[in-house]
Amino acid sequence: MISNWSNLVARRDLLRELTLAELRAQSQETRFGWLWWLVDPLIMMLIYWGVVVGIFGRGERYTPYPVFILCAMLPWKHFTSSINASAKILRGRDSLIKAIAFPTMALPLTIVFAGFSNFLFGMVVLLGTAVVFERPLELLPMLQLLPLLVLQLLLVTGLALMVACFGALVRDLSGFLTHLTRMGFYLCPTLYGVDMVAERFLSGALGEQAWAQWIPTLYMANPFAILFTGYREALFYGQLMEGQWWALLTLEALVLLFAGYRLYQYFDRRVIKFL
């Protein structure tokens, strides 16, 4: 049974059961259960707040920093946990794949969906933090959250499908992924904002170099830079994100999703021989 759209729709029961099973297994394994989905982002946020504001004494321009950092950390965690798990999933479930005919695309998709529901719990923490720190939280900027959630889901799905194929073909990939995602964390505007990138390359010594003028624009080609900016506009600044970034993010998410879907279809049955 190949992994195409119609087979996935026909087996939507499987997608639902697998996602629920994944979430249930996560929550039943631990004593706190689903409370972890709230505690986990809280702890992460406290660590970065402590390090950046408490120890380095930075981040005053991004006050309140907890809201600022969560806006980027939560979608980033959805992304990294999804691709790290996707890289291993086909290899890890080889006995299942070789025993039952089902669209195997359900496996990486389930990871992305389960991660997304963890992310939604994180959003509850983020909204709570935004209320505690008295962010404006106006209706119109908040409405941006809906398209952001959709675009994030499409983006992460596309990337997870690609990584799932490569992870099955190249054994070393998951070893590299940890380092790549760590690097990505610092390269993306997670701990800092895109305004800081612009400032750094457009003024001072670098500002006189012609090539440096291009860096901030190029930097925004990264879909995660736009995504994090979007969440910050919605919940931190209480503003609307510019239309060009919406267009670019939508385009990138759709292209990556399509590429991931087609790549997965190409490798779908071929990859089974490698497992």
Give the residues lining the site for other proteins (CB under 8 A): 1-2, 11, 13-14, 16-18, 21-22, 24-25, 28-29, 95-102, 170-172, 269, 272-274
Query: Closest CB to other proteins among 170 and 187?
Result: 170
Find how far residue 71's CA is from the centre of its chain: 11
Residue 17 or 242 having the CB closest to other proteins: 17
Residues 6 or more apart whose Cβ sits within 8 Å of residue 168: 90, 91, 267, 271, 274, 275
CB of 242 to other proteins, least distance (A): 43
As measured in angstroms, the least distance from the Cβ of 158 to other proteins is 24
- Which C-beta is closer to other proteins: that of 134 or that of 172? 172
Residues 275, 272: Cα–Cα separation, whole Å: 5
Q: Which is nearer to other proteins, 20 or 240 (CB)?
A: 20
Looking at residue 52, its amino acid is V
Cα–Cα distance, 247 to 231 (Å, whole number): 16
What is the nearest approach in angstroms of other proteins to the Cβ of residue 24?
A: 6
How remote is the C-alpha of 247 from its chain's centroid? 19
Nearer to other proteins, 39 or 100 (CB): 100
Cα separation of 229 and 193, whole Å?
8
Q: How far is the CB of 83 from other proteins (least distance, A)?
A: 21
Q: Could you tell me how many residues make up the chain?
A: 275
Distance (Å) of CA 119 to CA 137, 268, 273: 20, 28, 34
**Shortest separation between residue 14's beta carbon and other proteins, angstroms:** 4
Name residues whose C-beta falls within 8 Å of residue 268's C-beta, 6 or more positions apart in sequence. 2, 3, 103, 104, 105
Instruction: Return the closest-CA partner of residue 267 out of 172, 163, 173, 112.
Output: 163
Closer CB to other proteins, 60 or 273, in the complex = 273
Smallest distance, other proteins to C-beta of residue 179, A: 14
Structure tokens at 64: 């309140």
How far apart CA 233 and CA 239 sit, in angstroms, is 5
Minimum CB separation of residue 275 from other proteins in Å reads 10
Beta carbon nearer to other proteins, 105 or 188: 105
